[in-house]
Structure 1
Amino acid sequence: MTDVCTIAAISLDSGISKEVLRKWEERYGFPGPERDASGHRVYAVHQTARLKLIKRLIDNGMRPSQLVPLSEEALQSLLDEQSIINSVPAMESQVVDELMALLQLHDRSALDDRLKQEVKRLGVEKFVMEVMCPLNGAVGTAWVQGKIGIRDEHVYSEMIQSLIREEISQVSKPDGWPRMLITTPSGELHTLGILMVNVLASLHSACCISLGPQTPIQEIPIAAADYRADIVCLCFSAAFPKRKILPYLKELRSVVPQNVEIWIGGAGAVGLDRSPRGIRLLLTLHEVTDAVRNYGRAKYSQRQRRPANGLRSNTES
């Protein structure tokens, strides 16, 4: 057999886990493997392009059941119709195009300078909302379409992370409130989500304690106690197996004290059929900033309802 690859290779190239590929094969008949002399799955290399399109559309909030049965042409049409870029102001859409051109030219210095200029022009909050979010989408789309390589995506990722970390260092509030512990679960490598939440929540007076990615579940309640967290915030990318999210959240809620809120978000959380009791689902960055702003008001209102003798009222039980 020629032009074939292993399930590990196609998983790495497409960003879709091996277990999900097997599930789709069983449920939808795609991707369709052949078998080598040892009986192991091998996949035609040309299937990778279709898988990449599916991955990008799932990242944008669509369900696998809507996408996997579609042809490559139909998937590309859907991707072309996505409004990631068109939903931002026209000027920022042009900025995203110009930044993408610099990335494709491999002009790292010019790209770095331009990103910093845009942060200075817009301020970090508008930059994250109006430039970084659509730019992340544009980079992913360009990779799916073969306009950039994975090496270019890595260059962008390193550059944007460095930029946002620098902004975080300037706006962090060690004495802020609420106190937010931010991380991803074990197996979730993506860090852009937690960085964006960190900088935006800091701008709205939160004290953010980032544990970075992949914190073991048993460490989270310990960290919440050590750092006196009011909120544990987790980000899930679309690459995280969706079937694992609900069991994970139920276990997390059982070990984190009930007085500590749990917030989740990210592309992986889009389309969840339900959310366990005591888990707050925030699907956009605007929802995150609104939740941070409103947290203090809600707690103040609860304190106002507390009886003078210090006992909890029925509404708080």
Structure 2
Amino acid sequence: MSVYSIKDLEHLSGIKAHTIRIWEQRYELFSPQRTATNIRFYSDEDLKLILNIASLKDHGIKISKIVAMPQEVLEEEVKKIALERRSHQDQISALTMAMIDLDEEQFSSILDDCTKLLGFEKAMMEIIYPFMRRIGILWLTNSINPAQEHFISHLVRQKLIVATDNAEINQSGPMFLLFLPEGELHELGLLFANFLLRSKGAKTIFFGQTVPLDALEEVYHKLNPEFLITSLTTAPETKEVQKYINKLGTKFKNCQVYVTGRKVIGQEIEYPKNVGLLNQFEDLIQLVEQIVQKVD
């Protein structure tokens, strides 16, 4: 069972922790357990309940009416809203509950519906990426079970690979090599970047996880790509990041290198002339559209 702090409930539901505490006292919604140091924590069932309440409240139902509903009525009302899926928040909440229950069929159904409605790129940008960002924060704070995180990552990874395979390869497009540093395993962001690049008309070669720079340098001299993209989420170690950035600038000085990830975004990093920072996926989309437009 996963455990959640009240801040986790706030983060996932959008309902302020102060409001949750008031509801807890006034309506006896939860019976949180306590750690040995007397800190409250909440269960999967508590999280599902607050997500259901948030969904109904967002659609105009008063909290006093919601808490008076029998459990089966509350769940039925939420199902009606979920079927309509009128907002991104509804879809993100539905994905969260599918994650909690490890319900692959439900999770895939929601992803497929979002893709049909918005197209794959918009579904990723507006629903899946915000959802994964939330889950990533919970994973870093040890609030969700690692099995839940792997379950979600695997399903999203499958969707990304299929979508990328379906994107036509432009052999005459600008070439991008995509790779992750040694020790870096978080590839979902890079997989999405690979899809975006292909769908916008770039030629991509995806090397994936934990690539030694010496091995990459050999391929680089053979292929002569115009661009390299990498993401630094957990590797290299923080004290080694600046040194790694400098190596990228030196080893691949005849192409433009772009870096992203938690290790560099918002950090005080000095970048060589041929190394740039991508703060978000929108930056990558804008960059590729400009590059492909110039080539055309």
TM range (shorter): 0.5 to 0.7
- For 1:284, the equivalent position in structure 2 comes to 280
2: distance between equivalents of 1:242 and 1:131? 30
Which amino acid in the other structure matches residue 267 of structure 2? L
- For 2:88, the equivalent position in structure 1 comes to 92
2: distance between equivalents of 1:160 and 1:240? 25
Aligned residue for 1:148, secondary structure, equals coil
Which amino acid in the other structure matches residue 255 of structure 2? V
Aligned residue for 1:267, secondary structure, equals coil
- For 1:270, the equivalent position in structure 2 comes to 265
**CA drift at 1:252:** 2.2
- Is 1:172–1:199's contact at 8 Å kept on the other side of the alignment? no
**Compared CA separation, residues 166 and 183, structure 1 to 2 (3 A):** same
- For 1:130, the equivalent position in structure 2 comes to 126
**CA drift at 1:240:** 4.3
Which amino acid in the other structure matches residue 213 of structure 2? I
2: distance between equivalents of 1:101 and 1:240? 33
**Compared CA separation, residues 240 and 255, structure 1 to 2 (3 A):** closer
Aligned residue for 1:106, secondary structure, equals coil
Residue 223 (str. 1) matches residue 228 (str. 2) = no
- Is 1:246–1:276's contact at 8 Å kept on the other side of the alignment? no
Aligned residue for 1:295, secondary structure, equals helix
**Compared CA separation, residues 276 and 228, structure 1 to 2 (3 A):** closer
- Is 1:267–1:283's contact at 8 Å kept on the other side of the alignment? no
- For 1:259, the equivalent position in structure 2 comes to 254
**Compared CA separation, residues 232 and 101, structure 1 to 2 (3 A):** same
Match of 1:209 among 192, 205, 210: 205
- Is 1:104–1:147's contact at 8 Å kept on the other side of the alignment? no
| TM-score, reference length from structure 1 | 0.62
Match of 2:183 among 172, 180, 187: 187
Q: Where do 1:1-317 residues align within 5 Å?
A: 91-143=87-139, 148-238=144-234, 240-256=236-252, 258-273=253-268, 274-296=270-292
Aligned residue for 2:87, secondary structure, equals helix
Which amino acid in the other structure matches residue 280 of structure 2? T
- Is 2:173–2:295's contact at 8 Å kept on the other side of the alignment? no
Question: Residues 170-196 of structure 1, C-alpha deviation per residue, up to 9 Å, x if partnerless?
Answer: 114141521100011111111111101
2: distance between equivalents of 1:176 and 1:192? 26
Aligned residue for 1:280, secondary structure, equals strand
**CA drift at 1:277:** 2.6
- Is 1:99–1:111's contact at 8 Å kept on the other side of the alignment? yes
| TM-score, reference length from structure 2 | 0.66
**CA drift at 1:113:** 2.2
Aligned residue for 1:262, secondary structure, equals strand
Which amino acid in the other structure matches residue 210 of structure 1? F
2: distance between equivalents of 1:152 and 1:222? 38
Q: Share of identical aligned residues, percent?
A: 20
After superposition, the CA RMSD in angstroms is 2.9
Which amino acid in the other structure matches residue 250 of structure 2? S
1: distance between equivalents of 2:235 and 2:184? 8
The answer for unaligned runs of 5 or more in structure 2 is 12-38, 40-85
Tell me the matched-pair count: 218
**Compared CA separation, residues 190 and 173, structure 1 to 2 (3 A):** same
2: distance between equivalents of 1:272 and 1:216? 23
Aligned residue for 1:268, secondary structure, equals coil
**Compared CA separation, residues 296 and 162, structure 1 to 2 (3 A):** closer
